[in-house]
Amino acid sequence: MKPPESLATFGRNVHSQNGEDGIIAEVLRRISETHELSRWCVEFGAWDGVYLSNTCCLIRNEGYHAVLIEPDPKRFAKLCENFPEDTVIKLKSFVGVSGENSLDSLLERAGCPRDVDLVSIDIDGCDYHVFESIHDFQPKIVCIEYNGTIPNEVDFVQPLDFDLKWGTSASAICRMAEDKGYLPVAVTATNLILVRDDLVELVVSRECASLTVLRDDTDTRNFIFSGYDGTVLTKDPLRLPWHQFTAPPQSIHVLPRWLRKYPGDYRRFEQGAFLLFLAIKSPSQLPSIRVLRETWARHSR
């Protein structure tokens, strides 16, 4: 059998941001060749149901039933205006990880089938934890946001705190997803597209269902190191893409400017100032100052 064409070539946007509409459509087409689709999809936070949506194309162009969840009152009002039809269930709700606001509970009350075709998760922070909390539903496809500034080998999970907006690394999500029975079949700049394990080989070869194969993370790699004087340096400028800001390599500092010297060059008052700085910023490290004191003693002779 001829290997299926890479899903990346099918990327296109109708309402999505980075080609997800085209990729999801092709994944569904490949699955539908041997498996019946439920023709249901779920998205949260859905905004107005149209803006950068991964489900709007399915609803409007393919006649999908949907559950769209959005907690913000203004966005939810617009969502209801954009989708007045009964086949789109609109829920004004926060999605949590347990209790009545868990996704399992919300979808159960909405009458969503357990083998829903697509669940799109985009809440700018605790996406990992919400996906991990799903137990009663087994979507065929999960489209989930990851922090695209984190290289593949870094396993980083944002703490379970909905007030934080850090995001989680692609590798951490893939690790957890594999434990839940999902593998990646495509990666965009912002989303992982995961398919349930029993369906993966209908979509891509199992050898290709790997983050290292699917994602070139070259542009995310940077190196942080320090000079002898305590200046914190980076190999490349530090990008803050959500703020449209790039910081120069010398802009990340821990020590105040007047303490950025080789420790052996500290004068007496600077030695005392550094100890005070350490006592305030990191008192647990004060016991390890012995080696530094020996340096100061050698240079004062």
Q: What is the pLDDT of residues 72-130, one digit of tens each?
A: 999 999 999 999 999 999 999 999 999 999 999 999 999 999 999 999 999 989 999 99
Check whether residue 251 and residue 289 sit in a common domain: yes
**Top-confidence residue, 245 or 250:** 245
Check whether residue 259 and residue 136 sit in a common domain: no
Residue 101 lies in a domain: yes
Task: Return the CATH number at 160.
Answer: 3.40.50.150
Check whether residue 149 and residue 229 sit in a common domain: no
The residue from 199, 220, 241 where one domain ends is: 220
How many folded domains does the chain comprise? 2
Check whether residue 165 and residue 289 sit in a common domain: no
- pLDDT tens-digit readout, 168-221: 999 999 999 999 999 999 999 999 999 999 999 999 999 999 999 999 999 899
Check whether residue 119 and residue 156 sit in a common domain: yes
Q: Decide: 167 and 145 in contact? Cβ < 8 Å.
A: yes
Q: At residue 2, does pLDDT exceed 50?
A: no
Residue 119 lies in a domain: yes
Check whether residue 66 and residue 116 sit in a common domain: yes
Q: At residue 1, does pLDDT exceed 50?
A: no
The predicted pLDDT at position 161 comes to 95
**Among all chains, which residue has been given the structure tokens 């290289």?**
151
Paired strand residues for 118 = 41, 141
The predicted pLDDT at position 189 comes to 94
Check whether residue 32 and residue 71 sit in a common domain: yes
- Which segment of 48-52, 75-79, 267-271, 297-301 scores lowest on mean pLDDT? 297-301
Give the pLDDT mean for 124-151.
96
Cα–Cα distance, 293 to 164 (Å, whole number): 40
The residue from 163, 187, 220 where one domain ends is: 220
The residue from 190, 220, 250 where one domain ends is: 220
Check whether residue 248 and residue 234 sit in a common domain: yes
Residue 1 lies in a domain: no
Check whether residue 30 and residue 105 sit in a common domain: yes
Residue 105 lies in a domain: yes
Residue 2 lies in a domain: no
Cis preceding linkage at 45, omega within 30: yes
Alpha helices in the chain (DSSP H): 20-32, 56-62, 73-82, 103-110, 127-132, 170-180, 200-203, 211-214, 268-281, 290-299
pLDDT averaged over the chain?
Answer: 91
Domain that holds residue 134: 7-220
- Which segment of 29-43, 242-256, 284-298 scores lowest on mean pLDDT? 284-298
Check whether residue 287 and residue 158 sit in a common domain: no
Residue 138 lies in a domain: yes
Query: How would residue 4 be classed by pLDDT, with cut points 50, 70 and 90?
Result: low
Check whether residue 58 and residue 128 sit in a common domain: yes
Q: Decide: 252 and 261 in contact? Cβ < 8 Å.
A: no
Residue 79 lies in a domain: yes
- pLDDT tens-digit readout, 7-18: 999 999 999 999
Residue 24 lies in a domain: yes
Check whether residue 48 and residue 167 sit in a common domain: yes
